[in-house]
Chains A and B, each alone.
Chain A
Amino acid sequence: MGLKPTPYGTAIPFEEKELKFVGKNPTERPDAIEKVTGRARYAADYSLPGQLFGKVLRSPHAHANILSIDTSAAEALPGVKAVVTMDDFPDLEVEIAAAGELMVNFRDVTRNVMAREKVLYDGHPLAAVAATSNAIAKRALKLIKVEYEVLPHVIDVVEAMQPDAPILHEDQFTKGVDPKPEKPSNIATRIESKLGNSEEGFKKADVIIERHFNTKAAHQGYIEPHACVANYTEGGYAEVWTSTQGHFVFRSQIAKILKMDLAKITVTPAELGGGFGGKNTVYLEPLAIVLSKKSRHPVKMVMTRDEVFRATGPTSGTNTKVKIGATKDGKITGAQAELNYQSGAFAGSSLSMAAVTVFTRYDIENILVIGHDVTCNRPKVAAYRAPGAPMIAFGVESVIDELAEKLEIDPIEFRLTNAAKEGTQTHFGPKLGPIGFVETLEAAKASEHMKMPLGPNQGRGIATGFWFTIGNETSSTLNIAEDGTASFVYGTVDVAGGSRAVFTQIVAEELGIPLESIRVVQSNTTSLGFNFTTAGSRGTAAGSMAAVKASRDAVARMCDIAAKIWDVDIDEVAWEDGHARPAGANVGDFDPLSVADLAKKAAYYGGTIAGHAELNVVGGGPGFGTHIIDVEVDKGTGAVKVLRYSVIQDAGKAVFPDYVKAQFHGGAVQGIGMALNEEYIYDENGIMENPGFLDYRMPVASDVPNIDTIIVEVPNPNHPYGVRGIGEVPIIPPLAAIANAIHDATGIRLQDHPMSPPKVLKAMSEL
């Protein structure tokens, strides 16, 4: 994780109980009406009086030294109120911090926000302008003169690893090798993790398969471009409204980059128009604040789609090797993987997380995983839904399928023989707790989908996925108003409208009051204590733990008021069905007191009723899933059509089942897009050739079938309702499942992603 485990964390144990709200679909989601009427406010919808419009000048080169920047002509243009470059930002020392599932180094973050010595990718920012209109700001950008010394560049991960490759950072020496290398390298880090002895394991195998795989970078593809409005005010305060998955983490990053005190910055998360991991780090916000400070006006900045593609996200492009050996009866005896992951212009891809997911679905005694984090002249990689996992699952699940075929064992049976269970030793440290992987495989085996007949040129593929649920700092407050209605203030950004509904259900369940009496409100950074960013499938899992804690706190306070009113001991008051009641017949004959009754009297009996949670949540339950895909391959064109699709996943407990299914749909379709179409394409100068939705082709409604879903529920013992994170697992299996289905239909095995028609045709012609 990169995040330090704490012995002081909080996990509230699972309790089996009758449920009134949890597990039942609420009729109305708190965010839904605003969204269907166009009233929901996203970052680009905010405006402040007197605001200016900010635009960014971006590098047209993949790699170049910046010799000089002359902004004088831009500054002289009427309507231009401020221009900033690297000179307006302090340089920062190396300092590593967590930002979502990836770690960031502030020395790099400041350079990514505004280039210093050199530009490292097409789209790298090197100046920004604030003007009275967008049109004037754009004109001003053209007047900024930059002198570059163009340097050789490197785009491909394998080329970047070669000793003679152009080097991005002269001060980067590969970490994790002993002795420290003498020459700088694009390999930022080498990692290794092992269990048992993989070579010995291979000696016991009857069949060993080794394959190499390549995947291209893909973008998160959120429809809302990054946007913010910033206002720097007298006294050195900054307010920012922005598109973020984690306003507290943004505040920390802004404070570091601008050397400001945290308490002087207020970040308000706007409604988020999609993030998927790509909105865990700042891009525009520090620029907008400095432009606001310089111009003494609020400044609004909105990226174009071209900027989103060229300078934010994407996921790592990868080169991997997978080798697995098994006995005749289908037991895996040894496994190795090598993961070479692009990190983009600065070190720090999702490698470390991907590396621990490689074989974690299987109980294997002998494992070796080696990984390299590799810089190259591309935008800095950002997290994307189970960051790094789909690419290595493509390799592992393809090789598993090939092994099963060679051993003439059914692919689900082969996985069942080797499936991880409670107590399985992982290769990265802990043993697994209670998990639902076997249950997903069994449910897949028994599904209607497996009984559907296949026609000519059609094939069926299976693949599986695993991802963590992280916990971390989570704060919330539950305020009971004088009339007994409740407002729940949370700080884990609701990235897609599901967690808000879940928090309402949980508070209703705990307090015993109707959903209509509860209002959920997303905090800014001043109204709650620190909340970690919504990443690692933690939003609902950790956020609902804080909702339980805050609710129980408020209930304790209400029992205390009842005890005072009745003049009994607090232990003699019980909370049931939204009322304080005497705990037993001998306590006395008192009428139950409702939340409204207690709220009315609270002031006299000690003050307002509120509950708090300030937790570091631990014990997130890992999630496992199995996907079944049917495809049809057009032998003439090589086009692959997905005919049928089933997602089977352990949710621990589905609090809002229809929404859980909706997450499964969304993840699966992102996976289909990644598998069949989506890729970053660069020309020979290292310039991105497809920075738009026309050429970076994401799935549309007519590209995909209905997605069937089966929710498995094996409760997480460390969550009061048994919840596991569910958002990320569904994007992991599709690549491999589609590759396996294409094999079943045609006999070809594809190891190069995306599996586009030309590649399918070529492979078929080579059969």
Chain B
Amino acid sequence: MSKHHITTTINGDEVDFLCETSQTLLDVLRDELHLTGTKEGCATGDCGACSVSLDGVLVCSCLVLGVETGGKKIETIEGMADGDELHPLQRKFVEHVALQCGICTPGLLVAARSLLAKNPDPTEEEVRFGLAGNLCRCTGYQNIVNAVLDAAAEMRGA
């Protein structure tokens, strides 16, 4: 079975990869490109641990095929900080103890960034519903919600 040659942009860099038809974007990121910051919790679109943004749209990378991503822009957790400078969401997650085991954290950060891009001034309820696609078993969500609200305020310059 011959593999497909795909060219994409990942976190601003042009990236080439070979993949089988059945490989998901998540498989490609983790197994072919060794970008293991994106996590697999279920591979069925139910946990959000694999969240990435694809041409600016939040997707579960376990539900996208590698072959569909040709010519597209992919953003993963690895591209979130600007060098040494953490993204405000990352900093607020640390400050608010919004992570425990941390396996859900990359997905939640990517999802939160996409939420704030659409709605820079969300209410608590909007954050809770906006992140309802991301499971976290450790935190009970409260510190995550507070971190997102606090980061949103900072990003608005409030």
Contacts and interface: CB of A to CB of B under 8 A. Distances in A.
B44 A702 contact: no
B100 to A, nearest CB: 4
A275 B31 CA distance: 24
A220 B38 CA distance: 22
A572 interface: no
Contact of B76 (A33, A38, A39): A38
Contacts of B37: 37-39
A225 interface: yes
A495 interface: yes
**Nearest 5 pairs of A and B residues by beta carbon:** A38-B37, A273-B103, A35-B102, A665-B140, A669-B140
Main SS of the interface on chain B? loop
Contact of A36 (B49, B105, B143): B105
B49 A223 contact: yes
Given A273-B39, A693-B135, A701-B131, A662 B78 contact: no
A497 B101 contact: yes
Given A223-B39, A665-B139, A702-B129, 11 more contacts: A32-B94, A36-B90, A224-B103, A274-B101, A305-B46, A497-B99, A661-B97, A666-B137, A694-B44, A700-B131, A701-B128
A72 to B, nearest CB: 24
Nearest to A697: B46
A504 B136 CA distance: 26
Contacts, number: 176
Given A221-B137, A222-B137, A496 B100 contact: yes
B64 interface: no
B80 interface: yes
A497 B102 contact: yes
A454 interface: no
Contacts of A692: 42, 44, 46
A658 B95 CA distance: 10
Contacts of B105: 35-36
Interface in A204-238: 220-225
Interface in B50-105: 76-78, 80-81, 86, 90, 93-95, 97, 99-105
A667 B100 CA distance: 12
Interface string A272-292: 111110000000000000000
B143 A223 contact: no
Interface stretch (A42-50, A102-110, A583-591, A743-751): A42-50
B34 interface: yes
A16 interface: no
B41 interface: yes
Interface string A408-435: 0000000000000000000000000000
Contacts of A703: 132
B74 to A, nearest CB: 14
B11 to A, nearest CB: 11
A294 interface: no
Given A44-B40, A668-B140, A33 B94 contact: yes
Interface in B96-144: 97, 99-106, 109, 125, 127-129, 131-144
Nearest to B38: A38
Interface of A: 25, 27-29, 31-42, 44-45, 47, 134-135, 220-225, 271-276, 302, 304-305, 495-498, 658-659, 661-663, 665-670, 692-694, 698-704, 706-707
B97 A662 contact: yes
Nearest to A274: B101
A706 B22 CA distance: 41
A47 B34 contact: yes
A36 B40 CA distance: 16
A704 B140 contact: yes
Nearest to B27: A134
25 contacts: A32-B93, A37-B86, A38-B80, A44-B30, A45-B30, A135-B20, A135-B22, A220-B137, A221-B137, A222-B101, A223-B49, A224-B101, A304-B43, A496-B100, A497-B101, A661-B97, A662-B100, A665-B143, A692-B42, A692-B46, A693-B44, A693-B46, A693-B47, A700-B141, A701-B131
Contact of A35 (B99, B128, B144): B99
Nearest to B1: A135
Contacts of B40: 44, 225, 302
A662 B143 contact: yes
A701 B141 CA distance: 6
A272 B106 contact: no
Contacts of A25: 97
B108 to A, nearest CB: 9
A665 B142 contact: yes
Contact of A223 (B34, B132, B136, B142): B136
Nearest to A658: B97
A383 to B, nearest CB: 15
A220 B135 CA distance: 13
A32 B99 contact: yes
Pick the most buried of A35, A665, A694, A704: most chain B CB atoms within 10 A of its CB.
A35
Contacts of A699: 141
Nearest to A25: B97
B145 interface: yes
B36 interface: yes
Nearest to A220: B137
Contacts of B129: 701-702
A134 B32 CA distance: 13
Contacts of A662: 97, 100, 138-140, 143
A658 B100 CA distance: 12
B137 A670 contact: yes
A518 B94 CA distance: 19
Nearest to A696: B46
Contacts of A666: 100, 137-140
A229 B78 CA distance: 23
B46 A707 contact: no
Nearest to A694: B46
Contact of B77 (A38, A302, A667): A38
